[in-house]
Amino acid sequence: MAKQKKKGQSGQAKNYITRTQAVRKLQISLPDFRRLCIFKGIYPREPRNIKKANKSASHSTTFYYTKDVQYLLHEPLLQKFREQKALSKKIARSLGRNEVQDAVRLEKYAMPKIKLDHIVRERYPTFVDALRDLDDALSLLFLFANLPSTSAVPAKVIARCQRLCHEFEHYLITTHTLRKSFLSIKGIYYQATIQGQDIMWLVPYKFVQRVTQDVDYRIMGTFVEFYCTLLGFVNYRLYTSIGLVYPPKFDVASDERGAELSAFTLEGHRVAGAIDQKEDEQKMLTNGHGQIQNSETIQAQIDKIAQEAEVEDDTKEDENPEEQADSGTIDTFTPAAPEGDILPQPDLTGDEASTLFSNFTFFISREAPRHSVEFLLRAFGAKRIGWDAVLGDGAFTHDETDPRITHQIVDRPALAQPLPALQGQSDPKDQPLQAIKPGYIVPGRVYIQPQWIWDCVNEGKLLRTDLYAPGATLPPHISPWIKPTSGQYDPRATLEEQEPAGEADQDIEEEEENADSAEEVETDDGDESEDGENEVDAGDMDVASASSEAESEEEVADGFAGFEGTEDADGLSSDLDDEAQHQKELEAEASGRPIPVAKSKEDARKAKALKARQTAQSKKDEEIERQKMMMSNKKRKLFEKMQYSNNKRDLEAEKLRAKRRKLERAGKGKA
């Protein structure tokens, strides 16, 4: 006889454990259990059959894997938590005895410190694993870096998050690995490519944040504690991989004056080694004394080597000019068919990103977001960036009238008045600090709105600055991660590129018909208000017979127009059209309505083109119906679903194009 299984000893009842059982098994408090699970990356699980896992109990509970809880039994942090609990009891005892100094001493010196280094190494065996999990860490740390200090969020935590985030931004600036950015309602999205991994994070706008009470900052603080350790590991690995010293030098006084990124000074091992090597060479040349030996001979050898190197570089450029030109470019992909989807293009290289803004000198006005603009400009090659002294320390120049400035980033209404000539010394360093009054501009300088920087970064090239002038209507700011597909509306493309043939003419015809119908309604209301003399006259002229004759003539004309075998088909149709037009004029005159104007050649052409499009569409629909008859029932239903979604997408795109066409016509009318 086989051994009988007891209920609750195998299956889901054994694989899952409730949170209460896990806390009792680990012998820690519930807050410590939550912290430990966050640090170790253990999350609640939902069994397939809750009734079996809960051993037929009806109350709701939270389940964990039993093996995960057994794995926590050997965690070194458990001992740290127990030591903290014992110390908190000693502190409470000292406070109960009114021994305040002893309580302060115990809390300051005897509190065991928790280190999470071993947990980071356990959860991320390789550096690529850490990079893949860096999105949430960066988003949360940038969020806490912008929060105000409260009792729930201490100032030390905020300062640590700010420093780690600035260190990471300095790495992106040095390596030019930032690729895209997008301004959204939630904040500013950034994407960087580090060692082949795309990392995207969200940075909130620097507004005044309201700390609400419905958020559990203890849970978020636990995540921040772990993510700070993780980002510290990642920053150390990134800095050392490019030969920089970590942590970089940090000037506290400059940071207090609002320098932010400029408060850090990067140092490299390679640079230090090169300086030491030069000093050793200098000592060898001077033989340990202050006098250089054989300086003329050494200088002649150096000049000879430099000339040879220049000649070799010139010959290489002359031999392969095309290869030199194409070495820094990336191949672009074009669709094979005209109606095919737009293929995603490769991103910028580090060399192209480092030279995008390298030839310009920028000045950030006080109303522009300084930190985000400075970070983007420096990440894409800008070396000289100035701003107003109110925005903080660390600028290239605080003088707004500096002639070296080529582009000024403003977010104000249109500026029109040129700045009068400044009297002073020619050297900008010797001139006093000056500010330009609102409404004045410096001649020869380009004024742009901040969106120009984001659009240039996403497009990978410098765009036209006149479209982003102060006060101008900005182009649509589209997310760089959404690629347009065929059939969808693309606000970045022109209407001629994406609208079907004749769609604009059809839209204009519909508007004209709506206007004509509105005028007819107005005239009919005016006729009814009269004393009825026109009605008596119309009744004497037998309008009904005339209209019936006109309809019969129109039918005959349509019949002749469709018959193309005769030589005088065009002549007959034109004569019939003239007669029909004459009859319509008589009817309008009898009824007191305005006389309809004869259609011009352009209107006839549009009508003919519309009829041709309708004929082609009807043939296409008939062909589709014939093809559907040959399909199986399953494929027919699938095809109808696809057709429904495509028609819905085309209808939405048509509405958006009509709205844009109307706005463009209104803009041209105002101009």
Q: What is the pLDDT of residues 345-374, one digit of tens each?
A: 556 666 777 889 999 999 999 999 999 999
Q: What is the pLDDT of residue 231?
A: 97
Q: What is the pLDDT of residue 13?
A: 80
Q: Is the domain of 381 the same as that of 477?
A: yes
Per-residue pLDDT at 428 exceeds 70 = no
Residue 656 lies in a domain: no
Q: Is the domain of 402 the same as that of 449?
A: yes
Q: Is the domain of 133 the same as that of 58?
A: no
Task: List pLDDT tens digits, range 633-658.
Answer: 999 889 888 888 888 888 888 888 88
**Percentage above 90 pLDDT, the chain:** 41
Across 307-316, 411-420, 512-521, 536-545, which has the greatest mean pLDDT?
Answer: 411-420
Q: What is the pLDDT of residue 412?
A: 84
Per-residue pLDDT at 534 exceeds 60 = no
Reported as a pLDDT band with limits 50, 70 and 90, residue 510 is: low
CATH number for 366: 3.40.50.10190
Classify the phi-psi angles of 195: left when phi > 0, otherwise alpha if psi is within -120 to 50, otherwise beta: left
| Cross-strand pairs, 64 | 17
Residue 257 lies in a domain: yes
* End position of a domain, from candidates 482, 501, 534: 482
Classify the phi-psi angles of 4: left when phi > 0, otherwise alpha if psi is within -120 to 50, otherwise beta: beta
Count of domains forming the chain:
3
Q: Is the domain of 127 the same as that of 261?
A: yes
235 and 171 in contact (C-beta within 8 Å)?
A: yes
Token representation of residue 102? 């002893």
Reported as a pLDDT band with limits 50, 70 and 90, residue 506 is: low
Question: Do you find a cis peptide bond into 76, omega within 30 degrees of 0?
Answer: no
Q: What is the pLDDT of residue 439?
A: 67
Q: Is the domain of 131 the same as that of 255?
A: yes
Reported as a pLDDT band with limits 50, 70 and 90, residue 326 is: very low
Mean pLDDT throughout 449-467?
93
Q: Is the domain of 96 the same as that of 226?
A: no
Which of 27-31, 277-281, 648-652 is the least confident region? 277-281
Q: What is the pLDDT of residue 545?
A: 44
Mean pLDDT throughout 205-209?
87
Query: Domain span at residue 364?
Result: 351-418+439-482
Q: What is the pLDDT of residue 659?
A: 84
Q: What is the pLDDT of residue 292?
A: 42
Per-residue pLDDT at 344 exceeds 50 = yes
Residue 346 lies in a domain: no
In angstroms, what CA-CA distances link 5 with 2, 139, 368, 403?
Answer: 9, 50, 72, 89
Q: At what angle do helices 217-241 and 155-175 cross, to 10 degrees?
A: 30
Looking at the whole model, is its pTM more than 0.75? no
Q: What is the pLDDT of residue 286?
A: 44
Q: CA-to-CA distance for 382 and 451, rounded, in angstroms?
A: 16
Task: List pLDDT tens digits, range 523-533.
Answer: 555 555 444 44
Reported as a pLDDT band with limits 50, 70 and 90, residue 426 is: very low
Q: What is the pLDDT of residue 535?
A: 43
Token representation of residue 206? 């620097």
Q: Is the domain of 135 the same as that of 64?
A: no
Mean pLDDT throughout 432-448?
78
Q: What is the pLDDT of residue 26?
A: 94
In angstroms, what CA-CA distances link 173 with 179, 261, 347, 406, 466?
Answer: 11, 10, 17, 21, 28
Per-residue pLDDT at 563 exceeds 80 = no
Per-residue pLDDT at 551 exceeds 70 = no
| Mean pLDDT for all residues in the chain | 78
* End position of a domain, from candidates 207, 238, 267: 267
* End position of a domain, from candidates 58, 84, 110: 110
Q: What is the pLDDT of residue 621?
A: 85
Residue 536 lies in a domain: no
Residue 564 CB-density burial (10 A; 0-12 exposed, 13-18 middle, 19+ buried)? exposed
Q: Is the domain of 361 the same as that of 466?
A: yes
